[in-house]
Amino acid sequence: MSTFSAITTAGSSLYVHRKWMDAVSDNIANINTATSPDEPAFRERFIQAQAVEYGTGQGGVRVAGAQLGSAEGLLVYEPENPLADEAGYVRKPDIDLGEQMTYLLMSQRGYQANLAVVERATTSYEAALRLGKG
């Protein structure tokens, strides 16, 4: 594996981890978003990653798509909410904050690890160029 392929592979993973962090951030930001009971709740978003050219040493990863969670959500009694029905209920997403925080930490650690790979590969490439000037 060359320095350039290490940068390319880690760079592709940086992109996937950033998309994962974006999705988790959206999920957390909308955890208390209420809708009327006859409308769908905010749908949790999951990012799907896929290996590119697996086993060749030249691949990386890519975002294969996004999967949406259930629109059913939870009925919550909030009679003061302007979106509440005549019984006082609104629909909120069924998103677990603890789970989302775990995903956020995992995506941040993955991003940081791949950023370190890019930085180290760049440093080694620059050192090789300096040797060549020697």
Domain membership flag for residue 36: no
Q: Tell me if 21 is assigned to some domain.
A: yes
Helical axes 3-29 vs 97-133, angle rounded to 10° = 160
Would you say 9 and 106 are in contact if contact means Cβ atoms under 8 Å apart?
no
Q: Is residue 89 part of a domain?
A: no
Domain containing 125 equals: 3-30+43-71+97-133
Per-residue pLDDT reduced to its tens digit, 41-77: 999 999 999 998 776 666 789 999 999 999 999 999 9
pLDDT in tens, 1-12: 555 778 888 899
CA atoms within 13 A on the CB side of 102: 5
pLDDT band at 134 (very low <50, low <70, confident <90, very high): low
In this structure, are residues 28 and 3 in contact, taking their beta carbons and an 8 Å threshold?
no
Helix (DSSP H) and strand (DSSP E) numbers for the chain: 2, 4
Give the model's pLDDT for residue 6: 80
Strand 45-52 relative to strand 60-68, pairing: antiparallel
Residue 101 lies in a domain: yes
